[in-house]
Amino acid sequence: MNSENKHNILLVFTRNPELGKVKTRLAKGVGQENALTIYKQLLQHTHDVVIENNCTKRVGYSVKVRENDLWEASLFEKFQQEGEDLGQRMKHAFSQAFSDGYKNVIIIGSDLYDLQPHHLEEAFDALATHDTVIGPAKDGGYYLLGMRNLISDVFKNKEWGGDSVLKDTLENLAPYTVHTLEELNDIDFAEDLKPYQEFTEYIITN
C-alpha cells in the first residue's frame, strides 16, 4: 500500500446479493428475481467505476463477508458493517478509517448507475479545500459523503430511506465547508429504471 493510497480511502457499502433480500422496493415493481438481477448489474457497475480511482478501497458487507465474489481481495479490503441502523454502520466505518490513519474518507452505496469515475475524483479533490463533500440524490438522500474529520451528527436522528436525509444532513454540515457534487438518480423504484435502456426490459407494464 503506497503513501497516496494511505491518504485516501473509499468505502463501498453493499448488500449481499440474495433473492428477496435486496432492492425490496424495486422488487415490488419488477419482481424479486429481476430486482436481484438488476442489483447484480449495479454492483458490477459500481465495481468497474471504483477500480479506476487510485485509493484504498474497502467494501462493507451488510450480512457476511464473501471471500470469492465480485470484489477481488487483491483490490478491495473487506469488512462486515456494524451497527443498528445505516447511520451507526456508516459512523463505525468512518471511525475505523480515520483510526487507521486515512486523511480523506468517502463512502458510497452500490446502487447508482449514474456514478462515474470523475465523480469520485472530484470528491477527493474537493476534500483538499473543503471539510466535507456530498453527492445529492434525486430522492432526497445522498449517494456520496466524504469528510476530513469525523462529524458524528450527520449519522444521528435521520429517517434513513426517507426524502429528508439530504436536507437534515446539510443542516448538520452548516458550520462546515461543503462541496456539492451534481445530483444523480438513485435506483430504488421501478420508475427509476425508465431512463436506462439497459433496464427497460424489466419494467412491468399493466
What is the pairing mode between strands 142-147 and 132-136? antiparallel
**Cα–Cα nearest to 105, from 70, 151, 64, 170:** 151
With vertex at residue 101, the alpha carbon angle to CA 96 and CA 107, rounded to the nearest 5 degrees, is 50
Q: Domain segments of the chain: what residues?
A: 3-199
Q: Can you tell me the mean pLDDT for 147-158?
A: 95
Residue 37 in grid coordinates: 438481477
Nearest to 132 by CA among 102, 112, 104, 162: 104
- pTM (whole model) above 0.85: yes
Residue 84, number of CB atoms within 10 A of its CB: 7
3-199 CATH fold: Spore Coat Polysaccharide Biosynthesis Protein SpsA; Chain A (3.90.550)
pLDDT bin (cut points 50, 70, 90) of residue 200 is confident
Report d(CA 150, CA 105) in Å as an integer: 9
Residues 53-82 have pLDDT tens digits of 999 999 999 988 998 899 999 999 999 999
pLDDT band at residue 4, thresholds of 50, 70 and 90?
Answer: very low
Q: Which of 153, 137, 124, 142 is nearest to 53 (CA)?
A: 124
pLDDT bucket at 204, cuts 50 / 70 / 90: low
Residue 87 and residue 111: Cα distance in Å, rounded?
18
User: 2-11, 122-131, 187-196: which has the highest mean pLDDT?
Assistant: 122-131
Model confidence over 92-140: pLDDT tens digits? 999 999 999 999 999 999 989 999 999 999 999 999 999 999 999 998 9
CA 151 to chain CA centroid, Å, is 18
Q: What is the DSSP string of 10-45?
A: EEEEE----TTTS-HHHHHHH-HHHHHHHHHHHHHH
